[in-house]
Amino acid sequence: MPPFDTVWLQFVELCSRMRIAAKELPFTKWRNASRTILKVDIFTNPRFFDGCHDYLYLWQHCATKTMCEAVVEGMGSVWDAASSPVRHPNFETGVEEAVIAWSAPWPWHPHAVPFLNRSLDHLFGGREQWVCG
């Protein structure tokens, strides 16, 4: 990262560009738009990101490392599913299952197929033992 003064100047420049653009079409859509609309324009339009790469890099890292409410709620629902009172897991087992459920690929995702196949092969001692039909 460059010195803070350099990053600060990039931030000031980006703010200036955004203020000017917000008064012009098509950027008047920013008035009531979600932050996603702004981010798409800022990260994909050279008018905004040229010369501001260091600030945007820093901002992106801060934004993606922040525990937003949606992520925390999502993790809470995964924890609830992993530590169902019917199953009576202890704390350590519940934590391990929640981490696996949160981090693992969804079963229907194409990247999950090899993982699931290897897991089933390992569990049943070979594909012929678990393949149906």
Residue range 114-127, pLDDT digits in tens = 888 888 888 888 88
**Predicted TM-score (pTM) of this structure:** 0.49
**Mean pLDDT, residues 66-75:** 68
CB 42 within 8 A of CB 48: yes
* 126 backbone φψ class: left, alpha, beta (φ>0; ψ -120 to 50): left
pLDDT tens-digit readout, 3-61:
999 999 999 999 999 999 988 888 888 888 777 778 888 888 899 999 999 999 998 88
Quote the pLDDT of residue 29. Answer: 82
**Identity at 17, one-letter amino acid code:** R
Helices assigned H by DSSP within 22-125:
35-44, 46-49, 53-65, 69-82, 91-103, 112-124
- 97: which residues sit within 8 A by CB, 6+ positions away? 82, 83, 89
> Pseudo-torsion of CA 100, 105, 107, 113, nearest 10°?
-120
Quote the pLDDT of residue 133. Answer: 45
First to last CA, the chain: 58
Inter-axis angle of helices 53-65 and 4-21, nearest 10: 90
**Mean pLDDT, residues 83-100:** 73
Quote the pLDDT of residue 9. Answer: 96
